Amino acid sequence: MAGILQLRRGTPNISLSDGEAYLNQASSSLQIGSGSATITLVPLDKLITGDIRLSGNIYANNITGSSTLQAQIITNQTVGALSSGTTLSVGTSLETIFNQMLVTYIPVTLGTPTLKFSASNISTAAREVGQSVSISSVSFTTTAANPGGLFAVSASYTLSGTSTSDVVDVSLPGTLSSTNNLSFASTITDAPTAAGNVSFTLKVRRPDNNAVISANASTLSWRFRSWFLASPTLITNSTTFYAATGSAAANVVDTALNTGKSWTVSCTSANNNGSNYTYIIYPSSYGNLSGVVQDGATPVLGAFLSGTSPIDVTILNQYGRTQTIRIYRSNAFGAFSDGTSLAIS
């Protein structure tokens, strides 16, 4: 004879006697009284709200879910790439923490910045004092952090050594990726009145701890000019200097934007011309010459030490900047043959 088991059911929670079964329709769960307690059986394929306490092993083919911190932790030990003093915020996943502890962290890297005006790269070759340069943007590359694949979270720049006022830690707008071209809020223009360097330093911040990473500085240099001349003009003042270098460009055998008086030049037929003096001219701030060596062997500084050589003359360069130059003139006309090398120091 067949029997039908029908459980007591309802929506409210009720007190059950020992061994009594009850179908709680409010929670879609089966409950059984156990002494004075009520045991709720876990249903399959249903969302469970509340705590499940287990003691023993769990055997399963797949277990999915996520575990996150319920309270902030500030570490006091360094474990792997997780440094002491790191703040682990509420909601940080255990997977993230394990990655930091067990996987070697490779932070984002930052390439050397390239300064630009409009779409053109700005050369870092030395400029003559007074020559203007304008900067409107910067391009640079970055690599993503590993693990995580995240790029730097922000960028800023510092411009130091300008002739007007330095720019310190100014934010650059834009989201960073592997290749970046970020525009300044306004174009920066500089035309220094003295020799020196303007340094542009780019900074980005790591995505994991907001620490600063600085790129190699991109440096723009300004120098006063030096000249190596062959001219019939007796240079004694700014007027005769302009006459020898300005309209008579053929007299300029070589010119350079050096950082000191050391310089190696090659003579031409103009230096061997019987009507021309040979001149060595450079910023007076570099001091007197200590030597001139011909073709790597013969000292010939004496060939430039006449009764009036050297002399100092103050001029305006082609950009209107004041420059005091030191002038060494050869004692004789046509003093050096074509192809002769002079190492100046």
**67 burial level (CB within 10 Å; 0-12, 13-18, 19+):** exposed
Residue 56 has pLDDT above 90, yes or no: no
What length is written for the chain?
345
Residue 25 CA: distances (Å) to CA of 32, 39, 40: 14, 15, 12
**205 burial level (CB within 10 Å; 0-12, 13-18, 19+):** middle
User: Within 13 Å and on the Cβ side, how many CA atoms surround 280?
Assistant: 34
Specify the pLDDT at position 248: 63
Q: What is the pLDDT of residues 316-343, one digit of tens each?
A: 999 999 999 999 999 999 999 999 999 9
| Distance between CA atoms of residues 39 and 328, nearest Å | 106
Please indicate, yes or no, whether the overall pTM of this predicted structure exceeds 0.75.
no
| Distance between CA atoms of residues 167 and 184, nearest Å | 12
Specify the pLDDT at position 6: 66
Residue 232 has pLDDT above 70, yes or no: yes
Among candidate residues 124, 134, 193, 123, the one with its CA nearest the CA of residue 164: 193
Q: Regarding predicted confidence, which is higher, 313 or 80?
A: 313
| Distance between CA atoms of residues 116 and 172, nearest Å | 14
Percent residues over pLDDT 90 in the chain:
48
| Distance between CA atoms of residues 17 and 306, nearest Å | 125
Specify the pLDDT at position 64: 66
Per the prediction, the chain carries an average pLDDT of 87
Specify the pLDDT at position 167: 79
* Domain boundaries, given as residue ranges, for the chain: 8-40, 73-102, 109-223, 226-344
Apex CA 198: angle with CA 197 and CA 203, to 5°?
A: 135
Among candidate residues 148, 61, 155, the one with its CA nearest the CA of residue 96: 148
Mean pLDDT confidence for 125-154: 90
Percent residues over pLDDT 70 in the chain:
93
| Distance between CA atoms of residues 214 and 217, nearest Å | 8
| Greatest mean pLDDT range, 10-19, 112-121, 277-286 | 277-286
If one counts every other C-beta atom within 10 angstroms of the C-beta of residue 39, the result is 11
Q: Identify whether the C-beta of residue 238 lies closer than 8 Å to the C-beta of residue 314.
A: yes
**β-bridge pairing 252-256 and 226-231:** antiparallel
Among candidate residues 105, 113, 118, the one with its CA nearest the CA of residue 141: 113
Q: Regarding predicted confidence, which is higher, 238 or 93?
A: 238
Q: What is the pLDDT of residues 58-114, one digit of tens each?
A: 776 666 666 888 889 998 988 876 778 888 888 888 877 887 777 777 888 888 899
| Distance between CA atoms of residues 241 and 226, nearest Å | 13
CATH number of 109-223: 2.60.40
Residue 274: both structure tokens together: 């019987």
Q: Regarding predicted confidence, which is higher, 121 or 31?
A: 121
Q: Which range (20-24, 43-47, 223-227, 281-285) has the least confidence?
A: 43-47
Q: Regarding predicted confidence, which is higher, 117 or 65?
A: 117
